[in-house]
Amino acid sequence: MKKKPSLIQALIPIVFLIILLAANVYIWGDATLDGSNQLALLTAGALAAAIGGHLGYSWTEMREQIVKTIDSAMPAIIILLLIGALSGTWLISGVVPALIYYGLDILHPKIFLFAAVVISGVVSLATGSSWSTIATIGVALLGIGDAMGIDKPIIAGAIISGAYFGDKMSPLSDTTNLAPAMAGTDLFTHIRYMMFTTVPSMSLTLIIFLIIGFNYNFDVQASGVGVVQSAIADTFHITPWLFLVPAILFFIILKKVPPLPSLAAGVVLGGIFAVIFQPHIITQLSNIDENYLKASYVAVMEAMYGSVSIVTKDQAINDLFSSGGMAGMLNTIWLILSAMIFGGIMQSTGMLVKITQSVIKLVKSDASLITSTAASSIFFNITASDQYISIVVPGEMYKEAFEKRGLKPEVLSRTLEDAGTVTSVLIPWNTGGATQARVLGVATGDYVMYAFFNLISPVMTVIFAYFNIKIRRFKKIEK
């Protein structure tokens, strides 16, 4: 006979996981994604399974939930592989180098961080995808900022802040559609209501990055911007025609083509433009001189699946022009699978539900209910390692409580997005944090303190709750 877990039993695997993860950071530092964090999640999952077995849950039940959880993460895993391939073909085609080359002409260092937030935000708002934005324009912005001598974690924080603002507010975004669906309101009511907390959060973010920009000591490494551009131009054939690749990709996304075929199209376009515009890169990478067709096949394929490094005359910028391809994403995929196993076991044994139910009992006011919902979304991002779960599970659990207190559904949907969507990228083992760390080449622990929009958003929703600002309630006639 099955028993419900006690709160202490439910917390044991989480406390154990936190201890292991802290130990990993202390011992391995930035290299925790190489395997130690994955094993920590699997070990904590094994402990949770043991507790679940003691409570009467069968391994078959736990395994079925693990499979369901992994199935929900499969689109993210495939997207990761496509992003790896895209980074390779966009590198050898000269697309990313061209974006960096021309970006150095346009963007002044002092306003670069401000501009990076705005550009990432506009692109993400138009496409509805923070992941696609970061993997394309975000990578180029990182290269531009790095060439200006700005620390990568600060640039990554600006890019992520803008990308998640756009993702959160775009009607094309999956999470922006999911949150109102779970809460029981319509999409555009949800978006309009989110503006009350999102606009102040983004305004503060932009002000902070402006202050950083105007006070930053720009040490453009050993080379100046002109030398960087010269090194790029000597290595790649730089032409405005290369902008057709991102332009076509963004047009495809704007036409509401799903992310997987959109990114696949971007990969193919990058390969085609590499063959057309960078024949010397193709020959260099393939080591084949006599047959250009064969050389093109080899170079493009290797850029898609494996590591590629292109050496310029300026060693200070060589790290900008390397890609791990699909193979470079495998550690991240391993991390996601490990996190899904842990989350699936915790969910199937009722441990996650027990923890959140215990939280609901402590709710004494509208403000504490909203705060508890926000905290639960963050909690699920930490434990279940997926932003969709951080919206779906708290949405289901708190919906009735919001109705009983007379709060309109858009209050719940806004809270889910303010705390769930944007904080996933702050957790190293969450699909969001793991992916963006891999794509940008900056550890989550390094950029987290600079992702100001993502840090401010959940705080802003709590402030609005406690000061009773724009908290919509049903009038008696509406009940």
> Residue 448: which of 118, 165, 154, 216 has the closest Cα?
154
DSSP 349: T
**pLDDT at residue 221 in the model:** 47
Alpha-carbon distance of 468 to 479, in angstroms, equals: 20
Residue that is written with structure tokens 């100001």 in the block:
452
Grouped pLDDT means (10 residues each) for the chain, 479 residues? 90 87 75 81 93 94 90 79 87 87 79 91 77 82 86 95 92 78 82 93 97 79 64 91 89 79 91 95 92 95 92 73 85 81 88 80 87 89 76 78 89 93 90 87 93 97 93 69
Alpha-carbon distance of 461 to 403, in angstroms, equals: 18
**pLDDT at residue 320 in the model:** 67
For 293, the token pair is 């067709």
Give me the amino acid identity at 12: I
**pLDDT at residue 2 in the model:** 86
**pLDDT at residue 180 in the model:** 86
β-partners of residue 473 are 407
Alpha-carbon distance of 423 to 330, in angstroms, equals: 23
β-partners of residue 323 are 308
360-384: buried (b, 16+ CB within 10 Å) or exposed (e) per residue? eeebeebbbbbbbbbbbbbbbbbbb
What separation in angstroms does the CA of 53 have from each of 35, 40, 72? Answer: 27, 20, 24
345-355: buried (b, 16+ CB within 10 Å) or exposed (e) per residue? bbbbbbbbbbb
Q: Return the half-sphere exposure (C-beta side, CA atoms, 13 A cut-off) of residue 69.
A: 28
DSSP 312: -
Alpha-carbon distance of 228 to 411, in angstroms, equals: 49
Our CA angle for 280, 107, 271, nearest 5°, is 30
Q: Which helix (H) or strand (E) holds 308?
A: strand 308-309
What separation in angstroms does the CA of 448 have from each of 66, 175, 214, 347, 436? Answer: 29, 21, 21, 27, 11
Local structure of 283: helix, strand or coil: helix
**pLDDT at residue 222 in the model:** 39
> Residue 94: which of 243, 290, 283 has the closest Cα?
243
Give me the amino acid identity at 446: D
What separation in angstroms does the CA of 437 have from each of 34, 95, 106, 256, 473? Answer: 13, 21, 27, 26, 40
Residues 303/285, Cβ–Cβ less than 8 Å: yes
Residue 35 falls in which region: left (phi positive, over 0), alpha (psi -120 to 50) or beta: left
Residue that is written with structure tokens 């215990």 in the block:
358
**pLDDT at residue 149 in the model:** 83
Concatenate the DSSP letters of all residues of 358-408 into one string.
HHHTT--SHHHHHHHHHHHHHHHHHHT--HHHHHHHHHHHHHHHHHHTTB-
Residue ranges per structural domain of the chain: 7-73+332-478, 75-328
For 126, the token pair is 């138009």
Alpha-carbon distance of 71 to 65, in angstroms, equals: 10
Local structure of 322: helix, strand or coil: strand
